[in-house]
Amino acid sequence: MYDFETLIGELLQQKPELTRDEVMRRVEDKKKTVGAGYLTDQGALFLVAGELGVSLRKENASSDMTINDLYIGANDVTVVARVLAVYPVATFNKKDGGQGKYRRLALFDGKNSVRLTVWEEGLEQIEKLGLEVDTPVRVTSGYVKQGLDGKPNLNLGKRGKMEVLADEKGLAKLPSISTVVQKLPDLTKEEQFIALEVVVSSEPRYSEFVRSDGSEGSLFQFGVARDGGKETRVVVWSPTAKPELKRGQKLRITNVRARRSNNGDFEVHGDAGSVILLGTPAERSELRVAATSSSQSAKIVLGVGKDRKVKVVEISKGVKEPSQGDLIGVVPDEVTEGRMYCRSADSLRVIEGGSFPGLEELMMKVQEVKEEDAQIMVEVIALSHGSVEDVRLRDGSTVKKGELVIGDDTGDIKLVAWRDLSGRVSGTQPGERLRLVGVVPKSTKMGGWVLQLSSLSVVERLRGHS
């Protein structure tokens, strides 16, 4: 991050009575006494300069740093990383006798990780961000102190800020958790893991206990099997969730470490910041690409299966984006609430040839709209002008509602779009041909059906009028 030799030259210029050898001796002493093996040469040099009353230039201080750049004593740093763990809010006793609050997080940017402590002034902004594992973030105006383990600990105080990272340039620097997850290795030493992929070999047990100081504790434990190896015990202390696990189930557990137990065996230990992500069978789904769009941080592919239901596939940078009409094979890295996430390059492939139906055969007809909340694709004609009006809700608030009557050779139906989505139907003229991908059927109180646009729906205006 900094040009070390340039910084030494700057220090010697301001302190000509010192020699380079003397400066380096002080740097090494500082690394041994303060850094405990975790302070870099640059970090030690800044501390030495501070003791000598010299302020070194930080030419790149405004640039995004990596976790590996952090050193004890750094101030006003900006770091880009992904969230590895979010711990519950904790309390501490203030010098004035009062009680304060703080929250710990863990961040990673590949194989490197760091603890982040957010003090009470920043708790509200953290809560509003809704952070979860793998969320890309930028921490601004942080400062680094030595943690209890001797490692650099990033802190966020009054001047600090955290935001969800959305720009492509910043995201390109950050590998997602799926690219650094490891299969359970043969554990031979104590070490930290960003994420492990394991197979459950024994059903879980949950226990509560009382510590020697009278406080209550809990643990969640289960066995996992390594290919060709014996069972390894996984223990999560003070778990925030206790998922139902079954033998043979694949799962991913984040923010864990290998520790030697009292009987000498190595175990995998997690804590309140560890998350267990339940796996899904790694079966390939074949989909015909109906449309593509973009969200704030990823590309969205809307694909249609042989059941004529639209599936949402979110692809990260590094996964090649398919084109409309392509047949794709998807082996998702994760499936959450029906959405498939493809983060590794081989999780989505374009399939050449095959007998999979084309888009025309995968269209639903209006008279077939009978399944609540399914996402479907229809090709229709606008039968009315698209209109938008203000609608008063039960709570007294007013929102915009767009409406358009559409139809095909089997019947007609109303298309509805609420709030910001209402503009998508505005201006539509009778006779326009439309392809609607990812629209959602909704039943009405009168026993009929409407189609509703969602934020992921794509409205494609086809050439020509009927």
- Which domain CATH number covers 200? 2.40.50.140
Examine the pLDDT at 281 and tell me if it is beyond 60.
no
Mean pLDDT over 70-99 rounds to: 88
49 or 291, higher pLDDT = 291
- Shared domain for 118 and 70, answered yes or no, is yes
At residue 1, the pLDDT reads 44
Query: Among the three residues 165, 192, 224, which one is the final residue of a domain in this structure?
Result: 165
Nearest to 115 by CA among 164, 148, 89: 148
At residue 60, the pLDDT reads 40
- For 156-176, the pLDDT digits (tens) are 988 888 988 876 666 777 888
Mean pLDDT over 314-323 rounds to: 85
Q: How many domains does the chain have?
A: 4
At residue 464, the pLDDT reads 54
How does residue 127 score in pLDDT terms, banded at 50, 70 and 90? confident
How does residue 220 score in pLDDT terms, banded at 50, 70 and 90? very high
Q: Token digits for 37?
A: 């093996």
Mean pLDDT over 79-86 rounds to: 92
At residue 396, the pLDDT reads 84
Q: Is residue 171 part of a domain?
A: no
- Shared domain for 346 and 371, answered yes or no, is no
Q: Is residue 115 part of a domain?
A: yes
At residue 3, the pLDDT reads 61
- Shared domain for 135 and 202, answered yes or no, is no
How does residue 48 score in pLDDT terms, banded at 50, 70 and 90? confident
- For 139-148, the pLDDT digits (tens) are 998 999 988 8
How does residue 287 score in pLDDT terms, banded at 50, 70 and 90? very high
- Shared domain for 237 and 304, answered yes or no, is no
Mean pLDDT over 216-236 rounds to: 85
At residue 59, the pLDDT reads 43
Contact by Cβ (8 Å): 79, 64: yes
Comparing 61-75, 109-123, 246-260, 267-281, the range with the smallest average pLDDT is 61-75
Comparing 13-17, 32-36, 154-158, 205-209, the range with the smallest average pLDDT is 32-36
- Shared domain for 161 and 205, answered yes or no, is no
Range of the domain at 105: 4-165
- Shared domain for 272 and 293, answered yes or no, is no
How does residue 238 score in pLDDT terms, banded at 50, 70 and 90? very high
Mean pLDDT over 123-142 rounds to: 86
- Shared domain for 117 and 56, answered yes or no, is yes
Q: Is residue 9 part of a domain?
A: yes
- Shared domain for 86 and 138, answered yes or no, is yes
- For 173-217, the pLDDT digits (tens) are 788 888 888 888 888 999 999 999 888 888 899 999 998 888 899
Query: Among the three residues 224, 249, 278, which one is the final residue of a domain in this structure?
Result: 278
- For 371-381, the pLDDT digits (tens) are 887 899 999 98
Q: Is residue 175 part of a domain?
A: no
Examine the pLDDT at 455 and tell me if it is beyond 90.
no
- Shared domain for 36 and 99, answered yes or no, is yes
Secondary structure, 3-state, 336-396:
ECCEEEECCHHHEEEECCCCCCCHHHHCECHHHCCCCCCCEEEEEEECCCCEEEEEECCCC
Predicted model pTM:
0.52
Q: β-strands 250-260, 276-278: how paired?
A: antiparallel
- Shared domain for 397 and 421, answered yes or no, is yes
Mean pLDDT over 124-153 rounds to: 87
Q: Is residue 421 part of a domain?
A: yes
- Shared domain for 224 and 251, answered yes or no, is yes
β-partners of residue 349 are 329
Examine the pLDDT at 392 and tell me if it is beyond 80.
yes
- Shared domain for 48 and 123, answered yes or no, is yes
How does residue 62 score in pLDDT terms, banded at 50, 70 and 90? very low
